[in-house]
Structure 1
Amino acid sequence: MPMLSQQYLTATAVPDALQLLAEPGVLALVNFDHSCAPGVQPGIIPLGMPSLCDKPWEVIRYGNSVAERGEDEHCQWSLIEDVLCVATWIAPQDCSDIEAATEVAYGRLFRVIQSKGFPYPFRIWNFMPDINRGDGDREEYKKFCVGRERAFDDYHVAPQSYPAASALGHHTQGAVIYLLAGRNSGVHHENPRQQPAYQYPREYGPSSPSFARATSLALCSKPQVFISGTASIIGHNTQAVGDLQQQLAITLDNIQHLLSHVGQAEANLSGVRVYLRHPEDVAAAQAFLAPRLPLERINFIHADICRSQLLVEIEALASLAP
């Protein structure tokens, strides 16, 4: 059985999304476009943020079976073998209280994965509008973190069990949270170069961010590492404010240090998302990354990063070479 994979496709490579979704092994299609609303059917996940390099589709593949799909608790889910993908959206009007809406949305997700027998999320993505709006504790991202932590507390998820995650801002209405979950728990990892996010000092908000730097899981008996959104942060401090190239270099160093720490220094990276605050930075980012990573495995996405001083954030899926 093939490992889980994330592959980016151009619009011309996906003439019929529904037809692609029906193929064996296709767990979900993530759509990088301006819409952030439920997909036309379970398995299509619009994020509300555009690709900056004409790759509007990500195909998540796993196994060889045709996915089962359905809707429960205002969530859309897809299932192949021992991996469950679940997505839920927050309506634009509910984003006015992102703290409460996040707690409710996570509650829906947790009830679905538990009812399906997949109680262990190993990768979570969060995308919302106006992530940097507001001052101090009233910043949207900080309010989101409060709601997320309350949801984890509601379902008795301890900080050491927080999975890998990303949280970014988009420039449209509505929000989406989606996850991958398994029947068994993965192993959650921290980066020695960075303070665990859930232990950040009070200056970062009333609730620290609830995620691990990475989660590893043996799918098809082959280890894979799901790397959280990673940025130019050492300890808990932002580095190289205003310098894109330095932020890219520090971010890649952080990822490599993390992989070395978990014993996967030689792993191949795929499903790489490079979130850029400024669309005009895409050419510079491509030029910096091209000698270091295969560009066909990278999607460049226009997104706001959770800290206003950060220009870029990178996430990836790491797999051992066959």
Structure 2
Amino acid sequence: MTTVQQHIEITHRFYQAKKALFEEMVAHLLIEYTALYMPVRMVFFSAPMDSREYVAQFAYLKKTVRGHFGDACPVVSYVAQPVDTDGMALEVHEVVLTGEDTVSYRKYAGISYIAVERIGCRRLFLGGVTGDVLHWNIREQADDVFARIRQVIDAERMPVSAIIRQWNYIEKITDCDNAGHQHYQDFNDARSQFYAGVEWSTGYPAATGIGTRWGGIMIDMDLLLCEDGTVFMAGVNNPLQVAAHAYSQQVLLGKTALQVRTTPKFERAKAVWKDDHGFVYISGTAAIRGEKSLEGVGIEEQTLATLENIEYLVSGNNLRQTGIPVTGDAGLINFRVYVKYRADMEKARKVIESRYPELPVIYTLTDVCRSELLIEIEGMGLLR
């Protein structure tokens, strides 16, 4: 792992708690965490028994985190995915502030978020945005979540195209409802309508669309708008893969209320560059070449193919194609790894650790966006 610590502007830090009572695991993680920079988002991973327990535990998390941090509280997300320890994991997103930055903790349309601003440049961090988990279907939740996010973005006078990173958590992502509508496709249709009419001059956001056991729809977002010309942003393609937003109808599943099934609207990565350094958000990446999944092979082969996709994606040669004058490959600083079957967890870990023995990694157990895929990996990288 190659990093340039003085160039970190945003970082994701990982913590683990062994299996215990829910309240004990939360307390352990909050005690273990010590901020290096300013925390803007806390993402908890655990395994509630059902949707009602998810809602109750999520409420407890938000209350407890607020009690811990007071008014300077990071946004909180709760992902219903078991972790490899059978306990709880915590991912904290931190931002390095400059002397010119001001920070505001705000709430609008029922959404808590954080604004980091300086003259000519603004950033927003939204987290844990959910619909009515207990009563609404996936499409209803997705439409509601996007409608309220739109209210926040409009209130902040930022364009939708300022979204640079989006995490989309979708309960039982590959399941279909009684009408034949796949959960992931319903979500993609709602996202496409939310993005419609927007000029994506720097490409769509980096994104992950991943399954959860419970929780309906939940979205986290990072937004960045710099009008002073000091920051360059670009979507990053991967020549090994068809862009997700250019998929054919053959790889999209389920019925749709629209004329055609809409594609997943995200880039393989999103790079942010300032002066002589930057960072790159790596979208959820799987063993897909072209637009077809690597089928009929085991977890080791899919893991290797996924890592090769990421390595080519953030290679210096590929990044320079976006217009960013990097001097080499991105320095990977973390991975979040989603594995479909528990029996494959250790096999995937061995492959990843053999290639990146010192890289901080969280492993969770969940369904991926295609039923034949066994693993998905996302991450962050530093640019120089």
Cα shift at 1:14: 6.6
Tell me by how many angstroms 1:196 deviates. Answer: 1.1
SS at match of 1:70: strand
Q: Aligned residues: percent identity?
A: 23
Say if 2:290 is the partner of 1:290: no
CA distance in 2, matches of 1:266, 1:23: 26
The yes-or-no answer on 1:77 pairing with 2:113 is yes
Aligned-partner SS, 2:96: coil
Post-superposition CA distance 1:194-216 (Å, at most 9, x none): 11111111121411111111111
CA contact (8 A) 2:335 2:379 kept: yes
Other-structure match for 2:153: 113
Counterpart CA distance in 1 for 2:268 and 2:150 is 21
Q: How big is the shift at 1:116?
A: 2.4
Partner of 1:211: 266
Distance in 2 between the 1:241 and 1:152 partners? Answer: 35
Kindly indicate whether residue 38 of structure 2 is the aligned counterpart of residue 25 of structure 1.
Answer: yes
Cα deviation, residue 270, structure 1: 2.2
Cα distance change, pair 109–222 in 1 and its aligned pair in 2 (3 A): farther
Question: What is residue 262 of structure 1 aligned with on the other side?
Answer: 319
Tell me the equivalent position of 2:323. Answer: none
The residue number in structure 2 matching 1:313 is: 376
Cα shift at 1:73: 1.1
Distance in structure 1 (CA, Å) of the matches to 2:365 and 2:90: 14
Of 292, 303, 308, the match for 2:366: 303
**1:268 Cα deviation after fit:** 1.7
Aligned residues: 319
Cα distance 1:237–1:61, how it changes in 2: closer, same or farther (>3 A)? Answer: same
Which residue does 1:100 correspond to in 2? Answer: 140
Q: Are 2:173 and 2:210, in contact at CA under 8 Å, matched by a contact in 1? A: yes
Any idea what SS the aligned residue of 2:314 has?
Answer: helix
Is residue 2:296 matched to residue 1:250? no
Alignment partner of 1:226 out of 281, 291, 302: 281
TM-score with structure 2 setting the length: 0.75
Which of 44, 47, 52 is the aligned partner of 2:79? 47
Residues 338, 365 of structure 2: 8 Å contact kept? yes
- 1:132–1:306 contact (8 Å) kept in structure 2: yes
Query: Which entry has the higher C-alpha Rg, 1 or 2?
Result: 2
CA offsets per residue over residues 229-255 of structure 1, 9 Å max, x none?
000001100113341111111111111
Amino acid corresponding to residue 57 of structure 1 in structure 2 = L
Contact 1:32/1:48, CA 8 A, preserved across alignment:
yes
User: Which stretch of structure 1 is more off in the superposition, 44-53 or 312-321?
Assistant: 44-53
RMSD (Å) for aligned C-alpha atoms: 2.9
Q: Which deviates further from its counterpart, 27-36 or 250-259?
A: 27-36
For residue 62 of structure 1, what is the aligned residue in structure 2?
Answer: 95
- Asked if the contact 2:39–2:95 (Cα under 8 Å) also holds between the matched residues in 1, the reply is yes
SS in 2 for 1:68: strand
Residue number in structure 1 paired with 2:21: none
Are 2:132 and 1:91 equivalent residues in the alignment? yes
2:214 is aligned with 1:182: no
Report the Cα distance in structure 2 between the residues aligned to 1:91 and 1:220, rounded to whole angstroms: 44
Q: Which amino acid aligns with 1:195?
A: V
Is the 1:127–1:167 Cα contact (8 Å) retained in structure 2?
yes
Can you give the 5+ residue segments of structure 2 that lack an aligned partner in the other structure?
A: 1-6, 18-24, 48-53, 67-73, 227-231, 254-260, 321-325
One-letter amino acid of the structure 1 residue matched with residue 82 of structure 2: P
- Note closer, same or farther for the CA distance 1:286–1:84 as it changes in structure 2 (3 Å cut): same
Aligned mates of 1:235, 1:13 — CA distance in 2:
42
Q: Does 1:195 align with 2:242?
A: yes
* TM-score, normalising length: structure 1: 0.88
Cα displacement (A) at 1:137: 6.1
Unaligned 5+ runs, structure 1: none
Tell me, yes or no, if structure 1 residue 151 matches structure 2 residue 204. Answer: no
Instruction: Give 4+ residue runs of structure 1 displaced > 6 Å after superposition.
Output: none
Cα 1:159–1:247 change in 2 (3 A) is farther
2:43–2:76 Cα contact (<8 Å) kept:
yes
